[in-house]
């Protein structure tokens, strides 16, 4: 085999091989691929959110539409009857909640983005993704470990100096090969672990392999947790622009 053939073979092999940890480098590409896997360019689905407290439990059924690149999200609560019709709309950096029982639309100020959404352990920011885990953080690949029996990347994310985020550090564990998230830890500016999110129920849904159970637990609130379960979801399908309007927010069918 000539030297030119050897060089060509090596180039083709490199192009066809999956990215290695060294090629990915800082970990930003791993996080980008994970985010794209979980959200797609668009998504629309049915979810169940169960909020558990030591003394009570309740479950909400939600319909969620999202256009990731356009930073648009719409959430409608389908049940139970007490919360049915409540809606949340986010366009860019603006967010509104609609309360059908009093027929009132409330604009959510940026200072409220870290408040709990519907009494859950997810914040407004979590649900509508105001901050970007890709663009607002600097990522460092800190190692390759075992997590829940899987080979995983461990990535540390530190916010950029002027990023509109509250967490001082987020740690990610992402499954090697397919970029499925396995665990996330959220730390305060004092370095305290505040909450942990774990992912399970990994299976094919909406044409891709993703975790269908997301469990958020606040570290200092024993017995409290929120579980988000994907019932059905579609990715990269066309969504009518009318979905993401204030008129639709108040249109409770």
Length of the chain: 253
pLDDT in tens, 25-73: 569 999 999 999 999 999 999 999 999 999 999 999 999 999 988 989 9
Stated pTM of the model: 0.85
pLDDT in tens, 68-124: 889 899 999 999 999 999 999 999 888 999 999 999 999 998 778 778 888 899 888
Taking 3-state DSSP, the helix, strand and coil percentages for the chain, each rounded to the nearest 5, stand at: 20, 45, 35
Omega within 30 of 0 (cis) for the link into 80: yes
- 127: tokens are 């649900």
DSSP state of 86: -
CA distances from residue 127 to 19, 23, 52 in whole angstroms, order as listed? 30, 32, 18
Q: Are 57 and 225 in contact (CB under 8 A)?
A: no
As to burial, measured by CB atoms within 10 angstroms (0-12 exposed, 13-18 middle, 19+ buried), residue 55 is: exposed
CA distances from residue 78 to 193, 227, 239, 253 in whole angstroms, order as listed? 33, 17, 19, 10
Residue with tokens 């860019």: 92
Domain annotation for the chain: domains and CATH numbers: 20-249 (2.50.20.10)
- 243: tokens are 């979905």
Mean pLDDT value across the chain: 87
Nearest to 193 by CA among 172, 169, 215, 216: 169
């Amino acid at each position: 085999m000539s030297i030119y053939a050897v060089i060509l073979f090596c180039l083709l092999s490199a192009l066809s091989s999956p990215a290695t940890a060294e090629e990915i480098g800082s970990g930003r590409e791993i996080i980008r691929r994970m985010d794209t896997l979980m959200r797609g360019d668009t998504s629309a689905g049915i979810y169940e959110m169960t909020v558990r407290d030591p003394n009570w439990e309740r479950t909400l059924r939600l319909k969620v539409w999202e256009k990731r690149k356009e930073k648009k999200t719409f959430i409608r609560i389908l049940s139970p009857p007490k919360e049915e019709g409540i809606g949340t709309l986010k366009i860019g950096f603006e967010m509104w909640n609609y309360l059908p029982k009093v027929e009132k639309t409330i604009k959510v100020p940026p200072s409220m983005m870290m408040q709990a959404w519907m009494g859950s352990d997810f914040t407004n920011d979590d649900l509508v993704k105001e901050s970007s885990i890709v663009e607002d953080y600097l990522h460092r690949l800190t190692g390759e470990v075992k997590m829940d029996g899987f080979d995983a990347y461990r990535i540390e994310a530190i916010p950029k100096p002027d990023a509109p985020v509250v967490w001082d550090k987020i740690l990610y564990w992402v499954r090697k090969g397919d970029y499925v998230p396995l665990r996330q830890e959220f730390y305060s500016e004092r370095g305290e672990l505040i909450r942990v999110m774990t992912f399970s129920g990994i299976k094919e849904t909406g044409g891709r392999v993703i975790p269908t159970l997301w469990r958020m637990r606040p570290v200092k609130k024993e017995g409290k947790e929120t579980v988000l379960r994907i019932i059905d979801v579609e990715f990269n399908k066309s969504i009518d622009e009318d979905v993401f309007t204030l008129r639709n927010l108040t249109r409770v069918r």
